[in-house]
Structures are given as C-alpha cells and as structure tokens.
A and B are shown apart, each in its own frame.
Chain A
Amino acid sequence: MRWLLVKDLQILRRSPLLAALLIVYPITLALMIGFALSSPPGKPKVAFFTQVPKGRGRIHFGSQDINISSYAKDLYSSIQPVVVHSRAQAISAVRSGRALAALIIPADIPAQIQSLVTTGVGSPTVQLILNTKDPVERQFADQAIQARLNDVEQAVSKQVLRVAVIDLQQVLNGGSIQFLGQSFPLLGLRDSRTLLRRAIRALPAKSPLRPELNRVVGFADLAIQGLAFASPVLGSIGTPLTVDQTELSGRTTPAATYAVTISVIFSLMLVTLLLAAGMLALEREEHTLARLVRGLVTPGALLAEKVVLAGGCAAAASLLMAAGVSIFVPLEWSRFPLWVISLVLAGLAFGALGVAIGGVAREVRAASLLAFMISLPVAFVALVPAAAVSGGLKTALDAVAFVFPFKPALDALNNAFSGTAPGIGWPLVHLVVLAAVFGALARVAVRRLA
C-alpha cells in the first residue's frame, strides 16, 4: 500500500492544475458559502423621493402631534438611499439600474392619514416602483421595503392608539387640554358624576329634576364602566402579541460557528470524493486496475490506499481551513483532538463513498461528474431544516441523509467545534459504519469490474 500511496502522490504532484483545482476550488467554494451564511443580507439601493414639504409631515390627533417624517429615518436604516429630486429621476434611477426600486411619498400623505385617523375616510398611499428585470433582486427589494413599511404602519398605529388612550383617560378622569398655548381644565366623567350626585342630594325629595338627573348619573356610571374597560383594551391592540421566550437546557451553536462547520464539511466532502473517486477511476483509465488486483495488491488494500490518500489529504486541508477561519469565528481550540478525530473519520467515510463512485465510473471525468451529482443533493438534503418540510417528506429526507456521511460528519464536527448537543459519540460511530458499508460496496465493484 505504501508504494501505491507514493505513486499517487507523485501523480498528483505532476498534475499541479488538478491538485490545485481539487484543493483550492472546494475550499474557496466552502469559504464563500460559510461567509454567505454568516453575513447579514445587504441593503438594497432604493431611490427615495418625498413630495411632502419640510415641516409638513405632522398630523394632529386629539391633544397630540405625530411627525410622520421621523419614520423615514427607520426606512433609511433598511436601504441604501439613492438621492433623487423628482419622481422622474426616481424612475430613471430604477430604469438605469442605479437603484433596485424607487419609493415615492406623495405630498398629501399627512392629510390622508389625518383624515383616516379623525374621520375614518382616507387612503394614504405610497408608490413603489420595482425593476422587474431580475426576479430575485426584485423580491429582495420588495421584501426589504415592505417589511420596513409594515414597521412604519405599526409605529403610526401604535402612536395613534396611544394618543386615543390618553384622550379617553382624560375624558374619564379629567385633566387639562392645551389650546392656543393656554391650558384649560377638563372635568372628566367621574368628577361630573360626583358633582351630579351632590346636586341630586341637595334637591328636595319631591323635586321633578331628581329622576332625570338620576338617569344622567346612570348613564355616567355605564359610560365610566365602558370607558374604563375600553382603555386597556385599546392599549393592548398596539402590542397584541407578547412573545414569552424560554431557552431550553443545553448549549446552542452560534450561527457563525455552524456556518463554518458547514463550509468545512462541504469542503472535506468535495475534496475527498473527487480525490478518491478520481484516483480509483484513474486506475481503470490507465488500465492498471486489472494488473494490480491480479496478485500485486488485494482489492481491499487498493481501496484502503485510495481512502487513506483522499481522506488524509482532505482532513489536513480542512484542519488548515478551520484553523484559518478560527481567526474570525470563535472555535473551541480546547477540543482540538475532537476536531482531528471528526475530520479523519469523516474523511474516511467520504473516501469510502468516493471509491464506491470511482469503482462504478470508467474514467476520471465520469467519476468527477458522478461525485458532484451525488454530493450536492446529499448536502442539500442534510441541511433542510426539520420545520421546513412536512412530516412524511422529512422522514424521507432523514432516511436519505442517514445513508450518506454528510449529516453525521456535520453533527460530529459541530460538537467538536462548539461542544453543543447532540453528543459526538453516535455521529462518529455512524461515520465508521458508513465507511465500512461503502468500502464493501466499492470492493464488490472493483472485483466485478477489474
């Protein structure tokens, strides 16, 4: 086996482009995936044009003012605003591609909101212009703006409700009202009822006003009860749902660490599969397979050599990659021995899958294509979140993920990097079993095809 290993390393050394592609391409790809997963989404460029004159963005409601313009700042935090000075410029910016979308605020929006709040009639409308050339970018810009507009809507509603509740409280309990810079006292229903009761008691017993005033007191009682109930109800509409968040016991993996784990395993998978499948297929392409297994080496030794070569190279490259990434993302170096064990066993399991692929393919190109065709869906299946699919489909996806090394490799390395649940024991055993099963399949293929 030693001489075969030396021979394969010589061949790799003499194919620098192939070696570079096998190592550099998956690592670059994996790093890109890792950073894409761990980076926040970018902000879409949006041309923003408001026709509301400065200082005219206020609406009056009850005793308070609401400044609509202040919510534009929230919107700016979600987009990269492109400065435009007219509606035509905004549309032109979208057409030319300088902006993904244009948001136009009409001049009458404060009046429309004012009318809606005070009379219930009005349709405040903003105009959103989207570039439909790229459906993905269109959806991205649409979602970012809609989400922020929803926030603005909620904030305005909340403010209106808050003002309504304050005014209701004043109607109920009394207070003061500001008008033309002067403060006027407001009596309130409760005090009105107290004054009426005093007035009734002061009237003669047979006074004809007593029944009528008692009816007014009765109405005041009902109104006080009703408004006392309505105030907290109105207040709660502003925040109808409260999320009570509970953290279950056990540590959770930080998102960035998980992204690194995915990218390292993805890289390991591609390097190992391509190397193992390619190097075994090369034996067939060079017509040396039959010569070797004729008595020079056993099929088991030949396969073991390919698995060790591919798994060892890939595990070493992945360790370097993890060490490099740990500069940016915290990984638990105290668990380094578990990193090594996880990567080596994952390398062996992927290597065994690789030689099974290489045993079926007749040439290196076919083996590489087959390795890509198998590995990408396997990774995708293992990464589908449990909550994203229905029960039956989830069971099927779990079954597929179970028979390939990606999921146990991910679980093992995730634990090795961050010490989070589930434990590392079962994934490592799983990897060993998969290595044995795929190794046996490869052996059958080599015996049959040699």
Chain B
Amino acid sequence: MAATAATRQATLAARSLSKRFGDRAALSEVSFEVYPGELVAIIGPNGAGKTTLLSILAGIQAPTSGEVTSPPGRKVGWVPQQPAIYSKLSVAENLRLFARLERLSDPEQAVERMLDQTELRERSRDEVGDLSGGNQQRINVAIGLLCEPVALLLDEPTSSLDPRQRERLWGFIGGLAGQGTTVAYSTHNVAEAERYADRVLVLADGKLLFAGTPAELERAVGGGARDFESAFVHFLDERGA
C-alpha cells in the first residue's frame, strides 16, 4: 500500500521524542516518519510506551523533549481505544456535534459523508448505546476522520471487537489508507500488525528498537522463527525487552 518513502514528504515526523513521568522514562529519543497512505503498526509489550507515543503524536500530551511535525494547516485525527462517543445521542447527533465542535464549514455535509463511509446510514437515528461494539468503534473512527486529517492515529482500535467486527473495521481502515490517509495504530495483536501494516515500529521500555516491514523484522531475527509472532517474541528476547 505504501509508496517509496524517500520520494514523498512525511505526513507526520517524530524527532527525538522523550517523555518522563518523574524518574521513569516512558519514551527515550524516539524518531520516525510516516508517509501518505501508509499503514504503520506500533507494537511492543505492555508498558512499552505505545499509548504515550500515540498521545504525544495526537497532541494530547506534550513531550518532555523532542518535537512532532506535520504539514502546516493539516490536522491529525485521533481515535482513542474506547469509543469516545455519547451513548445517549444518535449516530447522526454524535457526528453532527463533533462536526460543529471541529468548526467545519458544512457540518451536515460532513455527517452525510461519514454516514456513507461507515455504512451506518440506516442506523443514523439509533442511539449509539444500542449499537454493537464494532459499529460504535466505526463511529469512533468516523469522528476522528471528520476534520479530513492528513494522518489518523488509532490506539488499539480492535482490542474490544470480535473477529468478524475486526475484519470489517480493518476493511474500513484499509479503505482510508487507500484514499491516501496515513494511518498509525498501536496493537497487542502481532498477527494483525503483520496482516494490516506496511511497516511496524517495535517499542520496548520507551525505546524504538525496530522500524521496518514485517518481513524485515522476520529477517532480522534469522530463520529460526516459524511465523511473525515468533519472530517478534524472538526479537524482544534477543534485546532483553
């Protein structure tokens, strides 16, 4: 899905990002770039710093040092792990509220676009609390897309979904990347990263240990590992993470 990185301008660039919480370093000197239409998975064990990295990229937290850059005038969309939507409002009302808060020039048109994109037009009047977890997550993603962001950041987007809902959501996210939106997501599911990522960033103890394609990660650990998940575990073991 991704084009050659060197020929395009990065949509999001992290330079020497560090974040400390007291004496604990949550992130240390993390640098990478992501490009238009690229699907990037951020993987790593618990406490590696994945959510901290995403929240800094999204602008929710400020880094202790380092910087994040994106093309001027373009927004970065953010989709939190849990659906951040109002369960007592309908699908359309949620989209309309956030479109207005985004100060879009034509909120109604944005709502219509998102209803089409999420394929939830038939449920537009239903209260969100009555929808399935998968549909709620699609609205959650749609709200992140309302501002037509240059890049979309998703924090473990499929963690609470069943396999069928995951499949549908990845179809939806893959469509976004196909339209040129950069997508970066964190996940615990290594198989998902292998299947739905052009590149993976491996974080452990706040340090970026690897950035490359899943195939490159497998090659990095030699031929001993039988699959990508084994390669990932082997990779972490080799580095004592």
Which residues in A have some Cβ–Cβ distance to B below 8 Å?
3-4, 7, 10-11, 14-15, 286-288, 290-292, 294-297, 450
Contacts and interface: CB of A to CB of B under 8 A. Distances in A.
A286 B85 contact: yes
A3 B59 contact: no
A301 to B, nearest CB: 10
B82 interface: yes
Nearest to A11: B88
B86 A291 contact: no
A130 B105 CA distance: 79
A70 to B, nearest CB: 70
B88 A450 contact: no
B89 A10 contact: yes
Contact of B101 (A10, A287, A292): A292
A3 B101 contact: yes
Contacts of B78: 291, 294
Nearest to B128: A286
Interface string B143-171: 10000000000000000000000000000
Given A3-B97, A3-B100, A292-B101, A10 B88 contact: yes
A286 B84 contact: yes
Given A286-B86, A288-B84, A10 B60 contact: no
Contacts of B100: 3
B67 to A, nearest CB: 17
Contacts of B58: 294
Nearest to A294: B60
Given A3-B97, A3-B101, A291 B143 contact: yes
Interface of B: 58-60, 78, 80, 82-89, 93, 97-98, 100-102, 127, 143
Closest 8 CB pairs of A and B: A296-B101, A287-B84, A291-B84, A287-B82, A11-B88, A3-B100, A288-B84, A14-B88
19 contacts: A3-B101, A7-B93, A10-B88, A11-B89, A14-B88, A286-B86, A286-B87, A287-B80, A287-B82, A287-B83, A288-B85, A291-B78, A291-B143, A294-B59, A294-B60, A296-B98, A296-B101, A296-B102, A450-B60
A295 B78 CA distance: 11
Contacts of A297: 101
A64 B83 CA distance: 93
A7 B97 contact: yes
A7 B84 contact: no
The prevalent SS among residues of A at the interface is: helix
Contacts of B143: 291
Given A14-B127, A287-B82, 18 more contacts: A3-B97, A3-B100, A3-B101, A4-B101, A7-B89, A7-B93, A10-B88, A11-B86, A14-B89, A15-B88, A286-B86, A288-B84, A288-B85, A291-B80, A291-B143, A294-B60, A295-B59, A450-B60
B19 to A, nearest CB: 16
Contact of A7 (B60, B83, B86): B86
B77 to A, nearest CB: 10
Contacts of B127: 14
A295 B26 CA distance: 24
A427 B100 CA distance: 39
A450 B61 CA distance: 10
Contacts of A4: 101
B87 to A, nearest CB: 6
Contact of B93 (A10, A288, A294): A10
Nearest to B99: A3
A290 B86 contact: no
A297 B59 CA distance: 14
A4 B87 CA distance: 15
B2 to A, nearest CB: 27
A396 to B, nearest CB: 36
Contacts of B80: 287, 290-291
Contacts of B97: 3, 7
B59 to A, nearest CB: 6
Nearest to B98: A296
Contacts of B60: 290, 294, 450
Contacts of B89: 7, 10-11, 14
Nearest to A286: B86
Contacts of A11: 86, 88-89
A33 B84 CA distance: 41
A4 B85 CA distance: 13
A287 B60 CA distance: 14
A180 to B, nearest CB: 95
Contacts of B102: 296
B203 to A, nearest CB: 21
A274 to B, nearest CB: 17
Nearest to B144: A291
A163 B224 CA distance: 121
B14 to A, nearest CB: 18
Contacts of B83: 287
Contacts of B98: 291, 296
Contacts of B82: 287
Nearest to B103: A296
Contacts of A290: 60, 80, 84
B136 to A, nearest CB: 11
Contacts of A7: 86, 89, 93, 97
Contacts of A286: 84-87
B88 A288 contact: no
A295 B88 CA distance: 23
A296 B146 CA distance: 12
Contacts of A294: 58-60, 78
Contacts of A10: 88-89, 93
A14 B128 CA distance: 13
Contacts of B86: 7, 11, 286, 288
